[in-house]
């Protein structure tokens, strides 16, 4: 099947066309600055073009995408009839769905009801679906949720220790995110290990989350009711004492919305370092010979990040009881060789032993790498994630 994969953000729309028979990406691109001015970038067969084009909304952005797909710029697609299905990355399934779902009118009603759980991204996801209904009528569409892989968590893992009514009335519980990536990596680990084992998956990018997977099912994850909970991230604080918000608001006069934004957008690596929320920028300074307060702040930020991931690996090891493999993925997880080293060193007592040569000296970016020492009881892998392929697989499964 030729499947159009859509990932609609608040002011962006990423897309890929994937031929599942050949397991090949025919073309991919990005519409950004939707509602502002508009820029479209497309990459096909190693070629790339960028065009400035006004896009007032997601419908107009999708029209730009479709015009591109059926033009002579994209070989392999002769007309819209070549697109057999559309798969959408959708943020939230709440407790309504525990798997990807074929989109119907009834499903759209439920997605609208879930907007309070994802007020920034859920409306954009819905807008992408509506745009496809308008521009490619009759083509089946599938919603692939960020949260459903984590829906197998037991209640003692997903419930918060707050009054029951918060859960029963307002569905306040841990949901977890990055589920499409975690699901893809879990599948790759099953192939590598030859079984549905016990795995710890570390999706470490600007946003970061870990999951504990047993027998193909997620039993716990780090992100919670929102993506703010869990490990420290690029601009997110991760776990903090909630009473901090009261102090910040009293000191600054911030509203609760401002204070949450403070934790989401101005904290994490960027907040601690006062330099950048991009780990590469911090490493450039931290690994230099510079002796200054800013260099110390960069080193502190990196150490804090690695320490918190290390702690969660230990916690998930305890939750699983035994671990067959650990996998690192996403931008930092795949590219941060020294970062991985700092996370894993000191875990030898758990049978987790990293080989420095495999991890740093002989590491190959963009490929699956085994970085565990030969005597490590736990296999350690670096695996590039492919959320679009996962969305395409689920779309094919449900539409066929």
Which residues contact residue 314 at a Cβ distance below 8 angstroms, ignoring those fewer than 6 apart?
347, 350
Query: Half-sphere exposure of 90 toward its Cβ, with a 13 Å CA cutoff?
Result: 35
**Would residue 146 show up in a list of annotated catalytic residues for this protein?**
yes
Q: How open is the CA angle 82-45-90, to the nearest 5 degrees?
A: 55
Q: How open is the CA angle 181-3-334, to the nearest 5 degrees?
A: 25
Per DSSP, which regions of 187-226 are E strands? Answer: 198-204, 208-214, 217-221
3-state secondary structure labels for all residues of 349-392: HHCCCECHHHHHHCCCCCCCEECECCCCCCEEEECCCCHHHHHH
Write the DSSP symbol of residue 173: S
**Separation between Cα atoms, residue 382 and residue 191, nearest integer Å:** 14
For the sheet containing 325-329, what is the strand order?
Answer: 217-221, 208-214, 198-204, 325-329, 379-382, 369-370
Pick the catalytic residue from 146, 220, 277, 324. 146
Q: Which residues are catalytic?
A: 146
């Amino acid at each position: 099947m030729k499947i159009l994969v859509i990932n609609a953000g608040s002011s962006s729309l990423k897309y890929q066309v994937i031929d599942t028979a050949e397991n090949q990406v025919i073309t991919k691109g990005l519409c950004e600055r939707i509602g502002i001015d508009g820029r479209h970038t497309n990459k096909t067969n190693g070629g790339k073009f960028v065009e400035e084009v006004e896009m007032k909304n997601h419908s107009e952005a999708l029209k730009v995408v479709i015009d591109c797909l059926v033009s002579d710029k994209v070989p392999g697609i002769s007309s819209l009839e070549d697109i057999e299905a559309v798969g959408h990355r959708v943020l939230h399934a709440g407790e309504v769905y525990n798997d990807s779902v074929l989109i119907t009118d009834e499903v759209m009603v439920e997605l609208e009801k879930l907007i309070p759980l994802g007020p920034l991204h859920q409306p954009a996801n819905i807008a992408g679906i509506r745009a496809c209904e308008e521009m490619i009528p009759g083509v089946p569409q599938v919603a692939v949720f960020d949260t459903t892989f984590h829906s197998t968590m037991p209640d003692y893992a997903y419930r918060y220790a707050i009054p029951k009514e918060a859960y029963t009335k307002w569905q306040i519980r841990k949901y977890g995110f990055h589920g499409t990536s975690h699901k893809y990596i879990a599948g790759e680990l099953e192939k590598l290990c030859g079984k549905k084992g016990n795995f710890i998956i570390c999706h470490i990018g600007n946003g970061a989350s870990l999951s504990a997977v047993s027998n193909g099912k997620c039993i716990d994850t780090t992100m919670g009711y929102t993506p703010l909970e869990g490990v420290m991230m690029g601009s997110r604080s991760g776990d903090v004492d909630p009473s901090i918000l009261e102090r910040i608001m009293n000191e600054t006069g911030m509203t609760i919305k401002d204070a949450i934004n403070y934790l989401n957008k101005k904290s994490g690596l960027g907040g601690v370092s006062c330099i950048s929320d991009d780990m590469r920028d911090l490493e450039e300074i931290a690994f230099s010979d510079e002796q200054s307060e800013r260099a110390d702040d960069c080193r502190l930020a990196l150490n804090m990040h690695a320490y918190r991931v290390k702690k969660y690996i230990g916690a998930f090891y305890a939750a699983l009881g035994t671990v067959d493999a650990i996998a690192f993925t996403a931008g930092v997880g795949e590219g941060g060789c020294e970062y991985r080293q700092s996370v894993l060193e000191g875990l030898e007592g758990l049978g987790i032993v990293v080989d420095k040569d495999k991890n740093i000296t002989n590491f190959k970016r963009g490929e699956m790498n085994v970085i565990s020492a030969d005597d490590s009881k736990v296999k350690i892998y670096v695996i590039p994630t492919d959320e679009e392929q996962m969305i395409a697989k689920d779309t094919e499964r449900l539409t066929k």
